[in-house]
Structure 1
Amino acid sequence: MREDKTNAMRILDAHGVAYACRFYDDNLALSGVEVARTLGQDPDRVFKTLVTVGKSGEHYVFVIPVVFELDLKKAASAVGEKSVAMVKSKELLPLTGYVHGGCSPIGMKKRFVTVIDETATLFDSIMCSGGRIGCQLELSVDDLRRAADARIADVTV
């Protein structure tokens, strides 16, 4: 398992944020729920990072539990857009610096408005991508919110 630092880890280190890395076999094509099970975690506290584009052309990041789906109407409302749509997988790397399945809400090429689903507040800590496939970070919701400059809102179905 590769354990070299990702951009997300370097940013957390620079800010003195406590986090734990959880690694899994990155050769497996796993869904978020399968990643949670592989790591022995409650899927409700393992979050995925979704990148969207608003009607205005601005991009937005949503961090939601792997067991839920993004409610596009709630998401648009949370960021003051008329509508939002998911970006295509091929647009993810040039836009964020991360690949599909390894997209962290921390350390993207550019800062985007970021929203964490309110269910995150039910847990002392949650997990999100560490910035590459096969790596998850566990950290407090407050630390993730600060590191990603995110707000909390109800954005899931």
Structure 2
Amino acid sequence: MRKTNAARILDQMKLSYELKEYPVDESDLSAVAVAQKVELPVQQIYKTIVARGDKTGVIVACIQGDLELHLKGLAALSGNKKVEVVPLKEVQPLTGYIRGGVSPLGMKKSYPTFIDSAVTSQEKISISAGLRGLQIFLRPSDLIMAAKAQVGKIATEPS
């Protein structure tokens, strides 16, 4: 199994994690599909969303797989008036990762990272390892430390 930048960062910090491979279906890269393949509840799958704030520029949000990003909440937490999700075509140039394989760890540049507060109720979570078909399982506190993330209410139930 290939080591990714995200895994190398966790190794350097001596944080424990587990890598889990799963079959990729290009037509369904959803958190729900990933959850089924890695046998975790979707509430423990954290998806990474790249956004841009009117004051801060690029920021990163991690939210539970079954929730939606709350743009106003992210704006408030990140010190912006307005936040928009970046267009898909900008994700790879900004992060070095492709859709379905965006990890909050090991991006091309270090962006301010925000994780939804629901994370604190989980014992373990799963994030993309930086490749489609590879997830990292780790403790929420370790992700918060490794990503130097701020935690707050940035997700909402789908409408």
Other structure's SS at 1:51 match: strand
Shift of 1:54: 0.8
Measured against aligned partners, the alpha-carbon deviations of 1:72-121 in whole angstroms (never above 9, x if no partner) come to 11110010100100011111111111111100000111111101111111
- 1:5 maps to amino acid: K
Question: Is 2:23–2:37's contact at 8 Å kept on the other side of the alignment?
Answer: no
CA RMSD of aligned residues (A): 1.1
Listed as ranges, the gaps of 5+ residues in structure 1 are none
Aligned length: 155
Shift of 1:38: 1.5
Shift of 1:123: 0.9
Is the aligned partner of 1:10 residue 2:11? no
1:156 aligns to what?
Answer: 155
Shift of 1:9: 0.7
Q: Equivalents in 2 of 1:42, 1:57: separation in Å?
A: 33
* TM-score normalised by L of structure 1: 0.95
* TM-score normalised by L of structure 2: 0.94
Alignment of 1:3-82 (within 5 A): 3-30=1-28, 31-56=30-55, 58-82=57-81
- 1:83 maps to amino acid: K
Listed as ranges, the gaps of 5+ residues in structure 2 are none
Question: Is 2:47–2:65's contact at 8 Å kept on the other side of the alignment?
Answer: yes
Q: Equivalents in 2 of 1:26, 1:34: separation in Å?
A: 9
- 1:76 maps to amino acid: A
2:117 aligns to what?
Answer: 118
- 2:21 maps to amino acid: F
- 1:141 maps to amino acid: P
Other structure's SS at 1:120 match: helix
Q: Equivalents in 2 of 1:137, 1:98: separation in Å?
A: 15
Runs of 4+ aligned structure 1 residues displaced above 2 Å come to: 26-30
Shift of 1:40: 1.2
Q: Equivalents in 1 of 2:12, 2:20: separation in Å?
A: 20
1:139 aligns to what?
Answer: 138
